[in-house]
Amino acid sequence: MKLYGALLSPYVTRVVLAARFKGLDIPIVPPPGTGLKSPEYLAINPYGKMPALVTDDAVIIESEVICEFLDERFPEKKILPGSDVARARARIISRAIDLYILPALLGLLGQMSPLNRNEALVTEKRAELRRGMDGLETFIQADPWCMGADFTLADCAVVPACFFLQKFLPAFGVMDVFEHHPHMGAVWDHAHGDPMVAHLLSEMTEALNDFLRRRAANG
């Protein structure tokens, strides 16, 4: 198996967390050719997005679908909880990250520089993000993980989102990112004490610093 992608994507790192939790060592490889929109990669994922998982018998795209696929194919250590209601709630959290958090956050990424910022867009995206986080807060148990004692699909989605919230919101004057969302903040704090998750967070920090260094060097 291999996973096309990079650690700077919250969608890719969702899958990496799921795979590592399950004890799967899946190499992460960059898209072939000139990148995500190369003919070679579009033949793998026609949407030209990462991640894409390639196995001996299939190509699976969409991070949440990949996580669920891995959980079914390698069921020894599950990332989906045992009861139908708990599974639905874990999926709600994961879906809410995709629908109500990451689009707003990614919308803000283009507005990082205060010099040429579209303030109306920033206000709109921040309000969208606030609504997304308010909703998510009602589903996260933070006891200590999103769904309680066990690390699940929900944490695989929430932890990378927290990483990027924490890295980018201060640029918009939000210093205490989880001030109004203590459950999300508690999961984020707990994540740092988990060796497997903490290791990925340090890899993500390294990848982000590397990206920022290269961007600065290229002007």
Ligand X SMILES: N[C@@H](CCC(=O)N[C@@H](CS)C(=O)NCC(=O)O)C(=O)O
| 3-state percent helix, strand, coil for the chain, nearest multiple of 5 | 60, 5, 35
Look up tokens 């960059």; give the residue. 30
For the bound state, the minimum distance from the C-beta of residue 149 to ligand X, rounded and expressed in Å, comes to 26
CA distance 202 to 8: 12
Please, which of residues 189-218 interact with ligand X by CB under 6 A? Answer: none
Q: How many residues bind ligand X (CB under 6 A)?
A: 10
Name the nearest CA neighbour of 139 among 68, 187, 107: 187
| Closer Cβ to ligand X, 9 or 152, answer by number | 9
Q: 152: helix, coil or strand?
A: coil
For the bound state, the minimum distance from the C-beta of residue 190 to ligand X, rounded and expressed in Å, comes to 24
For the bound state, the minimum distance from the C-beta of residue 195 to ligand X, rounded and expressed in Å, comes to 25
Look up tokens 């998982």; give the residue. 53
Q: What are the E-state strand segments in 43-166?
A: 52-54, 59-61
Give me the 118-137 binding string for ligand X, x by CB under 6 A, dash otherwise.
--------------------
Give me the 32-71 binding string for ligand X, x by CB under 6 A, dash otherwise.
----x-----------xxxx----------xxx-------
Is the distance from CB of 93 to CB of 154 less than 8 angstroms?
yes
For the bound state, the minimum distance from the C-beta of residue 7 to ligand X, rounded and expressed in Å, comes to 11
Position 11 contacts ligand X (CB under 6 A): yes
Position 111 contacts ligand X (CB under 6 A): no
Task: Return the H-helix or E-strand segment holding 198.
Answer: helix 195-217
Using CB under 6 A as the criterion, which residues of the chain lie in contact with ligand X when the complex forms?
9, 11, 36, 48-51, 62-64
